[in-house]
Amino acid sequence: MGWRLTLRPYLLIVPALLLTCGILYPFGLGLYYTLFDFSASKPQPDMVRFENYGAVFTQEAFWNSAWVTVLYAVGAALAETVLGVAVALLLHRSTMVGRVLEKILILPLMIAPVIAAIIWKLMLQPSVGVVNYLLRPFGLGGVQWTDTPTGALLSSIAVDVWVYTPFVAILALAGLRSLPASPFEAAAVDGAGWWYTFRRLTLPMLWPYVLVAVIFRFMDSLKVFDIIYALTEGGPGDSTVVLQIRAYLEAIRFQRYSFGISYTIVLWAVVYLAAMVLVKHLGKIQRKAAEVTT
């Protein structure tokens, strides 16, 4: 009986793991491919060892993509955090208006990012889009939203913010509702102002929740694909070619499979490193928050 008891949890997990391994296999295969010069024009590839990675790092396009990706991820995560926490704080006041609106907070988050990008693409058309139509009375009728490099990057960040701000707001709101009441009561008795309470109590105690949201949003934005694919396709020029778009262009459009996968492996490594650093930081923040609470 003993061995059956030890084995049981493993047996229950095996099917899930097998499916996962079904995905791990192509991952390993991809890793293996990067050692060759496999492409549509060369179906019988030669072993080139680490030449693909060397080519990635010496390609100017890679560094451009890396820069664009960082700008996008930092910009989107930052804007979503500020806006999301602000929305959560406003909803937490629990007025009539807040209670009604809270029920529909989740809606943009339920729309596929690619569909959101399509929607915004229609709204941001320079001559016939509704955004410029609404801006016309303010003398801003002809903004080329997605046709200038800066505009394209800001527009795609705006779509990301539209889709994912509710995610940050939901986490922050859940955090706000689970904070202990006593420190706030004490602060109120001491006559502390709103700003002081917010900076010394709310924010430090809320920060672990917010940081979880930030980690998720930052990781996800580093590998953004669908929003940019539908909104700008990486253009104009190279201005919004993030790493996943570059990998897509190399591997699928130009059919240089090995080279394209090398791109994604580099991105994967970066995302992992970032996750490790941030999760470590999260632990520190959580301990600090525990000190404030007690």
Partner 1 sequence: MRKRLVGWLCDTALILYFVFALFPIAWMVILSLKPADQLFSTYFSFSPTLDGYRTVLGDSEGIPFVRFFVNSLVVSVGAVVLSLVVGLPAAYASARWRFKGSENLMFTLLSFRFAPELTVIIPLFVLYQKLGLFDTYVGMVWVLQLVTLPLIVWIMRSYFADLTPELEQAALLDGYTRKQAFFKVALPLVKPGIAAVSLLAFIFAWNNFVFPLILTSNEAQTVTVGALSFLGGDRPKYNLTAAAALVSVVPPLLLALTIQRYLVRGLSFGAVKS
Hey, which bits of 123-213 come out as E strands?
none
| Shortest spacing between CB 186 and partner 1, in angstroms | 21
Q: Does 107 bind partner 1 (CB under 8 A)?
A: yes
Q: Which CB, 13 or 140, lies closer to partner 1? A: 13
Q: Does 287 bind partner 1 (CB under 8 A)?
A: no
Q: How far apart are CA 114 and CA 131, in angstroms?
A: 19
Q: H-helix or E-strand containing 84?
A: helix 60-92
| Given 42, 200, 223, 288, the residue binding partner 1 (CB under 8 A) | 223
Window of 49-57, 72-80, 95-103, 141-149 that interacts with partner 1 by CB under 8 A = 95-103
| Shortest spacing between CB 102 and partner 1, in angstroms | 9
Strand partners, 57: none
| Given 56, 68, 87, 210, the residue binding partner 1 (CB under 8 A) | 87
Q: Does 234 bind partner 1 (CB under 8 A)?
A: no
Least Cα distance to 123 among 143, 148, 106, 153 occurs for 143
| Given 85, 157, 210, 230, the residue binding partner 1 (CB under 8 A) | 230
Q: How many positions of this chain bind partner 1 (CB under 8 A)?
A: 87
Give the angle subtended at the CA of 193 by the CAs of 190 and 196, to the nearest 5°.
Answer: 100
| Shortest spacing between CB 275 and partner 1, in angstroms | 6
| Given 216, 238, 285, 288, the residue binding partner 1 (CB under 8 A) | 216
Least Cα distance to 106 among 76, 84, 131 occurs for 84
**Interacting positions 8-67 with partner 1 (CB under 8 A):** 8-10, 12-13, 15-20, 22-23, 26-27, 29-30, 33
Torsion of CA 69, 75, 77, 81, to 10 degrees: 180
Q: How far apart are CA 150 and CA 156, in angstroms?
A: 10
